Amino acid sequence: MEQTDIFSERVRRLAIATGIASALALFPIFFLLYPALLIVGGMIQPRQPTMGKWFVWAGTANLWVVVVMYDAMMSPHPWRQPKSPLYMVATFWATTVLLLWFSVELVVDGLERMRARRSMPLVEQRPVSLGVWILAAVLSLFVGRNAAGWVLEPSWRQHSDIFYLLGITLVQAVLVVAFDISLIRRVIKLRRASHAES
């Protein structure tokens, strides 16, 4: 296993801490999937580097949309009394700070691992399993269905939460496209390596 594929221990602990904090802030709501992705990704990343990495990035990107939306909703006018319960306002601001800190650490760690990878010899790519292709197909169909909904159903554009729906749809589309591209690149590298050997 290539060491440059594994997040630093600091980043993994921050991922778990951010997931737990955001889960507490989101507990009365139904967005617990995104904190769960952060927690699970941080825990499994040393043993499953690729899956853990995608869990962490997906959880972080989706969580930003949710946290920004709820921060804006709970404190539209900072000088007025907040409409939401005090514990919810406090946990959301704490989650926002922790998520920002974690995002910076995640980017810095990624840049350091990229520099380290350039100085290391190339390692053989593992083939993409059938299960991963099925997951990619399901995610692509899901994102395609959401995109078709925006085009074919104009009523979505009049929804009260249009900015959240648009933001989460765009984030998920970018993640799925990046995931698909990474799989295609891996297949291309494997084929080039096999042709070079033959």
**Distance from C-alpha of 38 to C-alpha of 56, rounded to nearest angstrom:** 5
pLDDT digits (tens, 9 = 90+) for 93-143: 788 889 999 999 988 988 887 787 777 665 666 777 788 888 888 888 888
Q: What is the 3-state secondary structure (H, E, C) of 86-144?
A: HHHHHHHHHHHHHHHHHHHHHHHHHHHHHHHHHCCCCCCCCCCCHHHHHHHHHHHHHHH
pLDDT digits (tens, 9 = 90+) for 38-85: 899 999 988 888 888 888 988 898 888 888 877 666 665 554 555 556
